[in-house]
A = this chain, B = another copy of it.
Amino acid sequence: MVKITDVARHAGVSPSTVSYALSGKRPISEETRRRIEASIRELGYRPHAGARALASSRSNVLALVIPLRSGIHVPVVMQFAVSVVTTARTHDHDVLLLTQEEGEDGLRRVADTALVDALIVMDVQLHDPRMPLLRTLDRPSVMIGFPQDPAGLTCIDLDFMAAGELCVERLAGLGHRVVALVGSPPEVYVRRTAFAQRVVQGFTAAADRNGLTSSIHPCEASPAAARRVAEQLLSEQAALTGVVVHNEAVLEPLIDAFEQLGLRVPGDLSITAICPDELAASLRVPVTSVALPSAELGARAVELLMKKLDGAAVPEATLLPPRLTERASTAPRNAP
């Protein structure tokens, strides 16, 4: 293994000079820097991560905590993860993957052993046992999602409440008077997952504000469940003309089911969704949707974390405003 002393000798300087040339923490003459860089290339030098971490008390590793509970939409989560990894790399950091098998102990372990410098936590519950822990940890962290009490934490997420409202407002603006929300699987609500609940809040508030008749329907992530919900909606709410879907997995099957039941989209039924843009745009009937900007969220979470690591102050709460894209699934309500 080639080490910093080898490089130093080869370049005719001291090891500390090599270190400073690498880190830029002290000025080094152009000439010396060139020689050092040449030596590094020639010898194929790579600084030892452990030695670096020990001496600098910085591991340059972030922990990404992905619970992967049931009912979540895996591809979306994976988009976050990829975006976190690539953004972290632009800041010269790597990403350690933690699932929830270990529970809170895992977080404490990687933090206390100095394996990671900071943590990104996904799938935050309204009352999340990890939150108090994270407040006590001496390492910075960023949540993707909001718990009930975000005080003292740095959180970022799509403004799901506003997203829910926006979907309803759009339908209301098109003249729809009876709307339904097809939401996440029941277990997501039982766990009191923050974002799901906030969509419900926004949906309900906007419906009430506009004097709409509304109802809420959790839905399992299977086409069969989608069909059942569709049938139920038609039988129970004959006047229904607007649906908000917050469930990536059933968006397409749901549309299929409606059409098989004789309802054309958007002729008889207008649909808005909260989901990744790529999904909404790729469907047979492209769906008017509020984008779920996974990649942006992941990237911004990393940026926030980097700022905190640099000792900078960051806002505790970052809510991305919802952005609605009009597509083919919405139309004005037919005259009755």
List residues of chain A with CB under 8 Å of any chain B CB.
Answer: 44, 46-54, 57, 59, 61, 64, 68, 74-75, 77-78, 81-82, 85-86, 89, 94-99, 101-102, 106, 109-110, 112-115, 222-224, 252, 256, 282, 284
Nearest B residue (CB) for A221: B282
**Which residues does chain B contribute within 8 Å of A252, judged by CB atoms?**
223
Nearest B residue (CB) for A101: B86
Q: Contact check: which of B49, B96, B113 meets A97 at CB < 8 Å?
A: B96
**Which residues does chain B contribute within 8 Å of A224, judged by CB atoms?**
284
> Complex: how many Å from CA A167 to CA B64?
39
Contact A96:B94 (CB < 8 A) given known A74-B75, A113-B47: yes
**Which residues does chain B contribute within 8 Å of A95, judged by CB atoms?**
96-97
21 interchain pairs, CB-CB under 8 A:
A44-B112, A48-B113, A49-B113, A50-B51, A50-B54, A50-B57, A61-B96, A61-B115, A64-B97, A68-B82, A78-B78, A85-B97, A85-B101, A86-B101, A94-B96, A94-B110, A94-B115, A96-B96, A97-B97, A223-B252, A223-B256
Closest 4 CB pairs of A and B: A50-B53, A46-B112, A50-B54, A49-B115
> Complex: how many Å from CA A78 to CA B86?
17
Nearest B residue (CB) for A255: B223
Contact A97:B81 (CB < 8 A) given known A54-B50, A112-B46, A113-B48: yes
**Which residues does chain B contribute within 8 Å of A256, judged by CB atoms?**
223, 256
> Complex: how many Å from CA A52 to CA B115?
10
**Which residues does chain B contribute within 8 Å of A44, judged by CB atoms?**
112
Instruction: Let me know if B61 and A85 touch, CB within 8 A.
Output: no
**Which residues does chain B contribute within 8 Å of A49, judged by CB atoms?**
50, 53, 59, 113-115
**Which residues does chain B contribute within 8 Å of A223, judged by CB atoms?**
252, 256, 284
Instruction: Let me know if A114 and B82 touch, CB within 8 A.
Output: no
The smallest C-beta distance from A329 to any residue of chain B, in angstroms, reads: 15
The smallest C-beta distance from A6 to any residue of chain B, in angstroms, reads: 14
**Which residues does chain B contribute within 8 Å of A110, judged by CB atoms?**
94
**Which residues does chain B contribute within 8 Å of A99, judged by CB atoms?**
82, 85-86
**Which residues does chain B contribute within 8 Å of A59, judged by CB atoms?**
49-50
Instruction: Let me know if A282 and B222 touch, CB within 8 A.
Output: yes
> Complex: how many Å from CA A115 to CA B53?
10
**Which residues does chain B contribute within 8 Å of A86, judged by CB atoms?**
99, 101
Nearest B residue (CB) for A57: B50
> Complex: how many Å from CA A66 to CA B57?
29
The smallest C-beta distance from A320 to any residue of chain B, in angstroms, reads: 23
> Complex: how many Å from CA A240 to CA B297?
48
Known: A61-B115, A74-B78. 7 other contacts (CB 8 A): A50-B51, A54-B54, A74-B74, A78-B78, A89-B102, A96-B96, A97-B97
Nearest B residue (CB) for A95: B97
Nearest B residue (CB) for A222: B282
Instruction: Let me know if A68 and B78 touch, CB within 8 A.
Output: yes
The smallest C-beta distance from A244 to any residue of chain B, in angstroms, reads: 21
The smallest C-beta distance from A224 to any residue of chain B, in angstroms, reads: 5
> Complex: how many Å from CA A53 to CA B94?
16
